[in-house]
Amino acid sequence: MPMQGWLIVTMTEGDEKMLGVNIPLGLPGSGRQRYAAAMTLYQAGTLSEAALEAYRICSPLDHQDPAPLLAVVAQGRRP
């Protein structure tokens, strides 16, 4: 049964991974879904450990935007 508010389309595997980290804020479970997608990208070698940590910190908070923490990571600092 599809979750209400979730986008369901046919995509390539890479598109699906990126969509996962870009799930809209506030959807129930979206923080953990973003973290799961980030873990997949980390395991594939396309996301740094520090960026993964930013998604982990935000994972229990569905309304928390990981962008501010990712900006810290982009400056070379750990979240």
Q: For residue 37, is it within any domain?
A: yes
Host H or E run for residue 53: helix 49-58
Q: For residue 79, is it within any domain?
A: no
One-letter amino acid for residue 6 of the chain: W
Distance CA 32, CA 66 (A): 12
Q: For residue 3, is it within any domain?
A: no
Distance CA 63, CA 33 (A): 12
Q: What value does the mean pLDDT take over residues 18-42?
A: 85
Q: For residue 2, is it within any domain?
A: no
Residue 62 has pLDDT above 60, yes or no: yes
**Structure-model confidence comparison of residues 14 and 45, the more confident one:** 45
Q: For residue 57, is it within any domain?
A: yes
Q: For residue 60, is it within any domain?
A: yes
For the beta carbon of residue 19, count every other beta carbon within 10 angstroms.
15
This prediction's pTM: 0.72
Residue 40 has pLDDT above 70, yes or no: yes
Q: What value does the mean pLDDT take over residues 25-44?
A: 89
Q: For residue 18, is it within any domain?
A: yes
| Domain residue limits at 35 | 13-74
